[in-house]
Amino acid sequence: MRGKVIKYGDNVSTDAIIAGKYTKTLKVQDLADHAMEDLDPDFHEKVKTRRIIAAGTYFGCGSSREQAPTALKAAGIECILAKEFARIFYRNAINVGLCVAQCDTSRIGEEDEIEFSPGDRCVKNHTTKEEIPVAKMPEIMVDILAAGGVVPYYRSRQE
Amino acid sequence: MAGGKTVAEKILSAHSGNDVYAGDICFCEIDRMMAHDANGPMAVQAFRNMGGKKVCDPRKIFFIMDHACPAPYERAANLQKMLRDFAAEQGIAFYEAGEGVCHQLMIERGHAHAGELILGTDSHTCTYGAVGAFATGVGATDMGASMLTGRNWFKVPETIKVVLKGALMPGCSAKDIILTVIGRIGAAGANYKSVEFYGEYLDRCPLADRMTIANMVVEMGGKCGFLCFSGMEPKADPDAVYAAEWEINLEEVVPCVAKPHMVDNYAPVTEVEGTKIDVAFLGSCTNGRIEDLRIAARMLKGRHVAPGVRLIVTPASREVMLLAMREGIAEELMQAGAIFFTQGCGVCVGTHGGVPADGEVALSTANRNFKGRMGNSKAFIYLASPETVAASVLTGVITDPRQLGGVNERESNQIR
Amino acid sequence: MGMGKTFAEKILSRKAGREVRAGDIVVVSPDYCISHENSASICTTFSSLTDRVWDPSKIVITLDHTVPAPAPEYANGHAVIRRFAKEQGLCHFYDLNCHGGICHQIICQEGYSAPGRLIVGADSHTCTAGALGAFATGIGRSEMASVWACGEIWLKVPETIRVYVTGRLKPGVCAKDFILYLAGLLGAGGAGYKCLEFDGPGIGRMTVADRMTLCNMGIEMDAKAAVCRPDEKTEKYLQEAGASDYTAIWADEDAVYKRTLEIDLADIVPAVAKPSRVDNYAPAREVQGEEIDQAFIGACTNGRIEDLRAAAAVLAGRQVAVRTIIMPASCKVLEQALAEGLIQTFVAAGCTVMPPGCGPCVGASGGVLGDGECCISTSNRNFVGRMGSRRSRVYLASPITVAASALEGEISCWESEEQNGTEDF
């Protein structure tokens, strides 16, 4: 996938991604509507033209709420790059089929043009003409992502 | 590679039927699963999306209503109804609103044991490390898959060893220990890792205090934690390999807080003394047990919460509430001006029951102080021990509990 | 003509300083004004009128609808009220650490309501305070802002329906059953613009708490006010509440009434108001077996110590079959219930005790109903959507019937068990 970047800092918590009060729903659109509400009021405007988040360390820290990656995906985010992810968020993102990659994001700027797909060894920054190495992802995660999440992955294994 | 194993390596080896070590990926049989009303509905949805008809074994699964209880709005009510109906259809144990916080119930009702592998749809599932279980939080889809197959895959975590040396000083408690540890290791310092705690203190302190410490392992990113008191099984091998080792001298632990808006934003309470507070919260899976309420009651008895301060208390479970009434603690706290809210998580997660107003300062015994955590992103949350909260509600500003002397000493501190 | 006057005519004559009759318009100054969370919105209107309240000692504010705050909007509302109370020097503001409760309970319990007093409140159930012999009526928010500003309000003197009550309630039958019966008889609009005057030996035998239950539901028949004749029970209650300096007033023997009803309490049976109208009366026996999902005991209608005692007697040593929420009407009630062991009984029986307030009754915080769910409640309203989903249903009943139903998971009559025991022999 290829697209432009929305840039965030360190420690973006699950409470910032989707506040607890909005999590009591099964409608993904409801989640999408409130994604990043407190952190970035312009998020919905930005996501119209930019589909990749580049963040600092410890993205998704806090709760195990799967609503967090679900909200971002439903809002239109296709990929999240971060220096480090909180464990549960990382696993949840893969389970819902949202591409995540751990890499040094410090040289990725707001609105940079980025190219990356699951399994790639590096992120291409077309704006700065740089290639940034990506931490290796266990095979099972690549398979789950390729299937579009753990539900389709599981279904395909049943067949 | 074949050598000594950490506790995490031992439990995952036992559950996968292979000798596994940090970094390995393994498939494991799961002993228990817990889902609550906030994330359980999505798990049920995932279960159905995977074609699930019958859960692997209903005796292994527990549904606990605690996040939005009693339901503060229709959507929450409808989702709880969905879980109630699913539990009835599948024969899953169902704990209604008001029974208590899921982690408290899992231990109190004997659903978590040493050596078990337990998943929960809540990050603080790691609390069961207090009794020696490998317990970790998962998302709803992982829970759905686990309910269906009874299995899941795990990456074996590396382990950090934390040795607690000596004994705590008066006015300090387990909460101060874990806030200090997190302050040193950092909020992401144990990301993906298991944390093993050692020290004589763990043999002296009650289960409640071990739970407080285990509960906050996830606040440094930990996948699971083990409070390795002398009787706990399995034990790590003497030649187990650790990613890092830390030593904390308990005599140097002081009453402390995590300042807004990160849990590792450590400060000794003396540094923030005098900060005005608007709302105080005593409760949650971190500090809502009878031992915590007893300390607060002892400090507040016969006194009154300062003007302008609201004190909200939520016992961690129905059992804790009953004990608090039997011991006269509930009465003492209410007479001191405390509001008792239904046993559950509402206040800590900001679902209801005590959301602060814009610009207000909350002093809380819970485990998280992210922006917006208690339901308002314009509020400021300080985390502290029950001792510090009790001392502060009396003055209306953050106060060092050591100033009250005597009344604030826990039994576990007394043998030094 | 020399015709006597009703309670409403007499009290409003006295307040207005001239002789008035039903239909006249008076301008009067209330003894106390009461409001709750809506004070935040009243403040806003008020500040567009003036900057000082006419008398800070006459304004009573409690926080009861959304406590502790379930969302930041509510928390911010509380903060506005807190600031206003401080700025204006209001001496009767019940914040969360001030041992408050539902405004209608506080206005009685803390000695604000007393015979012969005039009370206005920005809540329809203000009529509750008539249980102590006051003329108490609900008004809107903007009107309250103007009362805060100038200390005056105009009222039309209402006509009166006299309810003369004789006899005694049978065991297991409550004042709530009587008022549900009356609502069924008069209809939901049956006392529109009127004052309901409760009198007779049947009322004399009731506790003040029971009288509060009756007056509370006056508004459900659209009454402007409801009042009970003050007596020595009233005096005793007021002594405990710390009220003094009031002059009782009551209707003349030869007062002219729009209508007079005579009801014998012995005829009253455990009752419900079926969904979704308060006057949809049925004897509880008729709907026995109707499945419920939730039970609620509390509200300004039935959240007092007497109600909790009655419910606890039913629940003691047993386990509820459905989620059951107990909400004492005030901190004082809660503390007394704790001292008497009632809260222990409830918690041990599996009930959820919530902090004093309005809670599920207004569907604003705990205990909201989901789609298709059914609740039996001691509160006063069962409109569609009142306690949550538009597809939920609410039955109104007495604390005894609600407690008995909570045990069974379906509507049940406690009375039937007891009575079978006595009738057979």
Residue C107: which CATH number? Answer: 3.30.499.10
The answer to whether the CB atoms of B139 and A57 lie below 8 A apart is no
pLDDT for residue C131: 98
Residue C43, CA distances (Å) to B106, B179, C95, C148 in order: 47, 42, 16, 9
Instruction: Please tell me the distance in Å from A38's CA to the nearest CA on chain B.
Output: 6
pLDDT for residue C419: 40
Q: What would the mean pLDDT of C78-106 be, rounded to a whole number? A: 96
| pLDDT > 70 fraction of chain A, expressed in percent and rounded | 99
Residues of B in contact with A23 (CB under 8 A): 38-39
Q: How far apart are CA A32 and CA A13, in angstroms?
A: 16
pLDDT for residue B201: 96
C413, C410, C396, C415: which is closest to C179 by C-alpha?
A: C396
Q: What would the mean pLDDT of C218-225 be, rounded to a whole number? A: 94
Give yes or no for a cis peptide into B261 (omega within 30° of 0). yes
Residues of B in contact with C370 (CB under 8 A): 71, 74, 77-78, 80-81
Asked which of C216, C249, C282 is the last residue of a domain, the reply is C249
Looking at the predicted structure, is the pLDDT value of residue B412 above 80?
Answer: no
List the structure tokens of C220.
Answer: 């459900």
Domain count of chain C?
Answer: 2
Q: What would the mean pLDDT of A106-117 be, rounded to a whole number? A: 96
From B76, B123, B192, residue closest to A63, measured CB to CB: B123
To test the contact with chain B by mutation, choose from A65, A85, A145 the residue with the greatest count of B C-beta atoms within 10 A, namely A65
| pLDDT > 70 fraction of chain C, expressed in percent and rounded | 97
pLDDT for residue B413: 64
Domain assignment present for C103: yes
A96, A80, A106, A74: which is closest to A141 by C-alpha?
A: A96
pLDDT for residue C162: 98
The answer to whether the CB atoms of C335 and B98 lie below 8 A apart is no
C298, A6, C224, C356: which is closest to B342 by C-alpha?
A: C356
Containing structural domain, residue A46 = 2-158
Containing structural domain, residue C87 = 7-249
Contact in structure between C400 and C172 (CB atoms under 8 Å): yes
Looking at the predicted structure, is the pLDDT value of residue A26 above 60?
Answer: yes
Tell me the average pLDDT of chain C: 94
3-state helix, strand, coil in chain B (%, to 5): 35, 20, 45
Strand partners, B137: B120
Under the banding of pLDDT at 50, 70 and 90, the label for residue C302 is very high
List the structure tokens of C188.
Answer: 């939901």
Looking at the predicted structure, is the pLDDT value of residue C199 above 70?
Answer: yes
Specify whether C66 is located in the same domain as C198.
yes
Higher pLDDT, B308 or A23: B308
The answer to whether the CB atoms of A58 and B188 lie below 8 A apart is yes
Which amino acid, C419? Q
Looking at the predicted structure, is the pLDDT value of residue B406 above 70?
Answer: no
Looking at the predicted structure, is the pLDDT value of residue C27 above 90?
Answer: yes
- Per-domain boundaries in chain B: 8-155, 159-252, 258-401
Under the banding of pLDDT at 50, 70 and 90, the label for residue B404 is confident
Question: Could you tell me the CATH superfamily of domain B258-401?
Answer: Aconitase, domain 3 (3.30.499.10)
CB-based contact (8 Å) between A96 and chain B? yes
Domain count of chain A?
Answer: 1
Specify whether C230 is located in the same domain as C289.
no
The contacts of residue A96 (CB under 8 Å, 6+ apart) are A66, A69, A70, A73, A149, A150, B139, B141
Nearest chain C residue (CA) to B334:
C335
End-to-end CA distance of chain A: 28
The answer to whether the CB atoms of B339 and C355 lie below 8 A apart is yes
Under the banding of pLDDT at 50, 70 and 90, the label for residue B187 is very high
pLDDT for residue A62: 87
The DSSP symbol for B25 reads E
The answer to whether the CB atoms of B221 and A87 lie below 8 A apart is yes
**Which tens digit of pLDDT belongs to each residue from B16-52?**
999 999 999 999 999 999 999 999 999 999 999 999 9
The answer to whether the CB atoms of B51 and A21 lie below 8 A apart is no
CATH of domain B159-252: 3.40.1060.10
Q: How far apart are CA C317 and CA B132, in angstroms?
A: 36
Instruction: Please tell me the distance in Å from A37's CA to the nearest CA on chain B.
Output: 10
Task: Give phi and psi for B139, each to the nearest 5.
Answer: -80, 175
Nearest chain B residue (CA) to A150:
B141
**Which tens digit of pLDDT belongs to each residue from B339-372?**
999 999 999 998 888 999 999 999 999 999 999 9
Looking at the predicted structure, is the pLDDT value of residue C4 above 70?
Answer: yes
Residues of B in contact with C367 (CB under 8 A): 70-71
The answer to whether the CB atoms of C352 and B97 lie below 8 A apart is yes
pLDDT for residue A137: 84
From B67, B141, B191, residue closest to A151, measured CB to CB: B141
Instruction: Please tell me the distance in Å from C384's CA to the nearest CA on chain B.
Output: 13
Looking at the predicted structure, is the pLDDT value of residue A159 above 90?
Answer: no
**Which tens digit of pLDDT belongs to each residue from A120-139?**
999 999 999 999 999 888 88
Looking at the predicted structure, is the pLDDT value of residue C361 above 90?
Answer: no
Instruction: Please tell me the distance in Å from C366's CA to the nearest CA on chain B.
Output: 4
Q: A157: how many CB neighbours lie within 10 A of its CB?
A: 10
Q: What would the mean pLDDT of B154-158 be, rounded to a whole number? A: 97
Task: Give phi and psi for B256, each to the nearest 5.
Answer: -145, 170
Question: Could you tell me the CATH superfamily of domain B8-155?
Answer: Aconitase, domain 3 (3.30.499.10)
The answer to whether the CB atoms of A91 and B372 lie below 8 A apart is no
Under the banding of pLDDT at 50, 70 and 90, the label for residue C2 is low
Looking at the predicted structure, is the pLDDT value of residue C418 above 60?
Answer: no
Q: Which domain CATH number covers A36?
A: 3.20.19.10
Specify whether C79 is located in the same domain as C228.
yes
Contact in structure between C377 and C273 (CB atoms under 8 Å): no
List the structure tokens of B233.
Answer: 């099984």
Q: Is the ipTM of this complex over 0.85?
A: yes
Contact in structure between B30 and B150 (CB atoms under 8 Å): yes
Q: What would the mean pLDDT of C349-374 be, rounded to a whole number? A: 91
Specify whether C42 is located in the same domain as C182.
yes
Looking at the predicted structure, is the pLDDT value of residue C414 above 90?
Answer: no
Specify whether C289 is located in the same domain as C238.
no
Q: How far apart are CA A115 and CA A52, in angstroms?
A: 9
Nearest chain B residue (CA) to A66:
B139
Contact in structure between C313 and C282 (CB atoms under 8 Å): no
Specify whether C237 is located in the same domain as C121.
yes
Looking at the predicted structure, is the pLDDT value of residue A98 above 50?
Answer: yes
**Which tens digit of pLDDT belongs to each residue from C318-344?**
999 999 999 999 999 999 999 999 999
Nearest chain C residue (CA) to B305:
C97
Looking at the predicted structure, is the pLDDT value of residue C76 above 60?
Answer: yes
Specify whether C161 is located in the same domain as C22.
yes
pLDDT for residue A136: 86
Q: How far apart are CA B256 and CA B267, in angstroms?
A: 6
List the structure tokens of C253.
Answer: 């023997």
pLDDT for residue C380: 95
Instruction: Please tell me the distance in Å from B123's CA to the nearest CA on chain C.
Output: 23
Specify whether C320 is located in the same domain as C199.
no
From A21, A67, A70, residue closest to B351, measured CB to CB: A21
Contact in structure between B352 and B341 (CB atoms under 8 Å): no
Which of A23-37, B31-45, B152-166, C218-232 shows the lowest mean pLDDT across its residues?
Answer: A23-37
Tell me the average pLDDT of chain A: 93
Which of A152-156, B58-62, C115-119, C200-204 shows the lowest mean pLDDT across its residues?
Answer: A152-156
Identical fold for domains B8-155 and B258-401, yes or no, is yes
pLDDT for residue B416: 44
Under the banding of pLDDT at 50, 70 and 90, the label for residue C393 is very high
The answer to whether the CB atoms of C71 and B352 lie below 8 A apart is yes
The answer to whether the CB atoms of C368 and B74 lie below 8 A apart is yes
Domain assignment present for C254: no
Helix (H) / strand (E) element for A70: namely helix A67-75
Specify whether C244 is located in the same domain as C278.
no
Domain assignment present for C258: no
Instruction: Please tell me the distance in Å from B66's CA to the nearest CA on chain A.
Output: 13
Specify whether C136 is located in the same domain as C223.
yes
Nearest chain A residue (CA) to B348:
A20
pLDDT for residue A23: 83
Pairing label, strands B117-120, B32-36: parallel
Specify whether C293 is located in the same domain as C148.
no
Higher pLDDT, C35 or A24: C35
Exposed, middle or buried by CB within 10 Å (0-12, 13-18, 19+), for C6?
Answer: buried
CB-based contact (8 Å) between B64 and chain C? no
Residues of A in contact with B194 (CB under 8 A): none
Specify whether C123 is located in the same domain as C236.
yes
Which of A134-143, B54-63, C279-288, C305-314 shows the lowest mean pLDDT across its residues?
Answer: A134-143
